[in-house]
Amino acid sequence: MDKPFLHQLSYEEARDYFSRRDLVILPVGSVEQHGPANPLGTDMLIAQDLAREVASRSGIISLPVIPFGISFHHMGFPGTITVSEESLASYVLDVLRSLSRWGVKKVLVVNGHGGNLPTLQIVARKAMDELGIRVYIYQWWTSGSKMLAELFSEDERGHASGAETSLNMHLHPELVRTERLVDEEPKGSFEARVYRFAYTHEMSSSGVFGRQSSATRERGAALFEKLVQDLLDIVTELEGA
């Protein structure tokens, strides 16, 4: 499809789409630190690129990416932008209310940032109860965990480490400062048995969790293709639901 995003359509083209389809894709990301080598927009860029590729291949339209997310924990690093849980929930629900008017019944959220998940889950419940819209949330590092483990070791699967950096190298090589790749084992890993709020700079001076220096463009390309195929399978199932 040569126009994968809703904002690229005219209202007549949009009317035609909504007369035939009741499913859309919604990428959601964040603008936050991803170590000294990666761009602040890593999460929004990966979500947007996955959504665009899946929309192009499937014919299901994607909305523009929602760039900002819940990133309080990264505010120790310059350039990070955060919004509150209430703001994100209200914003996404307003988007869904508009979609409801045009007959949308299913929304596949491609979430690029884990900090957004609890809020998106609340939104999914409200959307079903108030609008009759079912929201399905996809996260590449959890939904694609099996394929991720086939390509990357455990210490390459943390925040801003080898897997995420490899995706950036494939999708936006011009934005990755390869001379600034770092490896850092986060502090406080013993606390994996319990949950508490912690700022990223308390656990990692670089903002990287794990091994980043092993990232390659080739592995990023392989992972991206696997994730796209996974999402295409999900789209096929949702269209038949």
> Which pLDDT score is estimated for 187?
85
Mean pLDDT along residues 83-92 = 98
Question: What is d(CA 77, CA 95) in angstroms, rounded to the nearest whole number?
Answer: 30
> Which pLDDT score is estimated for 208?
97
Give kind and range of the element (H or E) at residue 211. Answer: strand 210-211
Domains of the chain: 6-236 (3.40.50.10310)
Query: Rounded to 10 degrees, what is the CA torsion of 100, 105, 111, 117?
Result: 90
> Which pLDDT score is estimated for 195?
78
Mean pLDDT along residues 64-77 = 98
Contact between 140 and 46 under an 8 Å Cβ cutoff? The reply is yes
92-114 residue pLDDT tens? 999 999 999 999 999 999 999 99
Question: What is d(CA 31, CA 33) in angstroms, rounded to the nearest whole number?
Answer: 7
- Residue predicted with more confidence, 241 or 51: 51
> Which pLDDT score is estimated for 224?
98
Residue 20: band (very low, low, confident or very high) from pLDDT cuts 50, 70, 90: very high
119-175 residue pLDDT tens? 999 999 999 999 999 999 999 999 988 889 999 999 999 999 999 999 999 999 999
Question: What is d(CA 28, CA 138) in angstroms, rounded to the nearest whole number?
Answer: 10
> Which pLDDT score is estimated for 189?
57
The residue behind tokens 């656990």 is 203
List the single range of 35-49, 59-73, 180-194 with lowest mean pLDDT.
180-194
Contact between 112 and 28 under an 8 Å Cβ cutoff? The reply is yes
* Buried-state track 76-108, b at ≥16 Cβ within 10 A, e below 16: ebeebebbeeeebbeebbebbeebbeeebbbbb
Kind of pairing between the strands at 210-211 and 183-184: antiparallel
Q: Is the pLDDT of residue 26 over 90?
A: yes
* Buried-state track 53-66, b at ≥16 Cβ within 10 A, e below 16: bbbbebebbbbebb
For the chain, what is the mean pLDDT?
96
CA neighbor of 74 nearest in space, from 111, 15, 30: 30
159-211 residue pLDDT tens? 999 999 999 999 999 999 999 999 999 887 545 677 778 899 999 999 999 99
Give kind and range of the element (H or E) at residue 110. Answer: strand 106-111
Mean pLDDT along residues 223-241 = 96
Q: Is the pLDDT of residue 241 over 70?
A: yes
Question: What is d(CA 166, CA 222) in angstroms, rounded to the nearest whole number?
Answer: 10
> Which pLDDT score is estimated for 191?
56
Mean pLDDT along residues 56-75 = 98
